[in-house]
Amino acid sequence: MNVLTKPEVIGSIEEMRSRLTDARSRNVSERVERGEAGLGRPRIVLVPTMGALHAGHLTLVRRARSLGDIVVVSIFVNPLQFGVGEDLGSYPRTLEADVAALAVEGVPFVFAPTNQVMYPDGAASTRVSAGSVGSLLEGAARPGHFDGMLTVVAKLFNIVGPDVAVFGQKDAQQVFLIERMLADLDFRTRIEVVPIVREDGGLALSSRNRALEPAQRAAARALSAGLEAAASVAGQGAEATLQAAHAWIDAQPLVKLDYLVVVDPLTFLPVGALHHGPARMLVAALVGHTRLIDNVALNLP
């Protein structure tokens, strides 16, 4: 794909809203000129990211372009979702490279606010609570993470006003909590979830993968291999899937398992041995100092 034009990088909330109002008006005018009036209000699609974009992010962007008329990619490393001792300071920030990649994808707008713009009074005193599910799994390992994530997502939705927002399936618990927030708080935005994009060898793409040394990267492939093994024996029930995944993951000394669990996608709570129907296996582990997550859908008999 050829570079169409460099995206507008916008840092202020007021300018972002103004540019989207102008873009919608321009889109309507262009439709009229082409004789396409009556197609409805131009649709805005948002892809929220923390930057350090990789092929997985760009897959989300391509999906966004197919879903609407005006695409906005937000790039903001949200401090509210990092806990004490986490990698906020070292999280990769590659705005110039990110904008160049988005230019190739034909993205017109990049919303890249500073902390001061998003939280002018410091840490937001009003936050969205993720509830009890937000304290499980990733929430247990990263207390407050999901409250911070939901808070910034709610802010981004109020700033951009998207008709659709695109997220990746890799962050399955995040997707569940966002969908629940939208239902509970009556947001008009619809969520589109894109399947996990993987490296050769199966490792789920993540901005954190760049921190892996070669031996660690090879060991980390046990996560996706374990999930694949679990899916292959799903017909034998939940316990069999867990045993199959453990056989791969536990064999890797460089992988320190945090959790491996099968949950009900409707509640995100762990299933019992007799559960039947749709389920999802989730895994999180430390490989060196890098925390990785992955998941796979299961259909248990």
The answer as to whether 202 is a domain residue is no
Instruction: Say what the pLDDT of residue 16 is.
Output: 98
Q: Are residues 187 and 216 in the same domain?
A: no
| 270 inside domain | yes
Q: Are residues 108 and 156 in the same domain?
A: yes
Same domain, 190 and 72: yes
Judge if 239 and 184 occupy the same domain: no
Instruction: Answer yes or no: is 26 within a domain.
Output: yes
Q: Are residues 288 and 143 in the same domain?
A: no
Q: Does a structural domain hold residue 187?
A: yes
Residue 199 lies in a domain: no
Phi, psi of 125 (to 5 degrees): -80, -25
The answer to whether residues 119 and 26 belong to one domain is yes
* pLDDT for the residue 37: 66
Tell whether 175 is covered by a domain: yes
CA distances (Å), origin 42, targets 18, 20, 22, 29, 194: 15, 10, 11, 11, 22
For residue 230, which phi and psi values (nearest 5 degrees)? -60, -45
> 64 and 88, same structural domain?
yes
CATH number, residue 267: 3.30.1300.10
176 and 217, same domain (yes or no): no
In a domain? residue 200: no
- Total domains, the chain: 2
Question: Which pLDDT value is given to residue 29?
Answer: 85
pLDDT score at 295 = 98
Residues labelled as active-site residues: 57
CATH number of the domain to which 189 belongs: 3.40.50.620
Predicted pLDDT at 91: 86
d(CA 239, CA 159): 45
Q: Compute the distance between CA of residue 82 and CA of residue 145 in angstroms, rounded to an integer.
A: 6
**Domain housing 114:** 8-194
Residues 228, 171, single domain; the answer is: no
Whole-number Å distance between alpha carbons of 22 and 150: 28
Among candidate residues 165, 194, 223, the one where a domain is terminated = 194
Q: How far is it, in rounded angstroms, from Cα 172 to Cα 280?
A: 9
Which of 194, 227, 256 marks a domain boundary?
Answer: 194
| 237-242 contacts at long range (C-beta below 8 A, 24 or more positions apart) | 237/273, 237/274, 237/300, 237/301, 238/262, 238/271, 238/272, 238/273, 238/275, 238/279, 238/298, 238/300, 239/273, 241/281, 241/298, 241/300, 242/281
pTM of the model: 0.94
Say whether both 227 and 290 belong to one domain: yes
For the chain, what is the HEC assignment?
CCCCCCCEEECCHHHHHHHHHHHHHHHHHHHHHCCCCCCCCCCEEEEEECCCCCHHHHHHHHHHHHHCCEEEEEECCCHHHCCCCCCCCCCCCCHHHHHHHHHHCCCCEEECCCHHHHCCCCCCCCCCCCCCHHHCCHHHHCCCHHHHHHHHHHHHHHHHCCCEEEEECCCHHHHHHHHHHHHHHCCCCEEEEECCCECCCCCECCHHHHHCCHHHHHHHHHHHHHHHHHHHCHHHCHHHHHHHHHHHHCCCCCEEEEEEEEECCCCCCECCCCCCEEEEEEEEEEECCEEEEEEEEEEEC
Alpha-carbon gap, residue 203 to 294, rounded angstroms: 9
Residue 33 domain-assigned?
yes
Give the pLDDT confidence score for residue 85 in this predicted structure: 78
Mean pLDDT, 10 residues at a time, the chain of 301 residues: 74 98 90 75 96 96 97 97 84 94 97 97 90 97 95 98 98 98 97 96 93 96 98 97 98 98 97 94 96 97 92
- Of 300, 282, 152, 187, nearest to 238 (Cα)? 300
Please indicate, yes or no, whether residues 231 and 175 belong to a single structural domain of this protein.
Answer: no
Residues 161 and 27 in one domain: yes
Q: Of 161, 194, 227, which residue is a domain's last?
A: 194
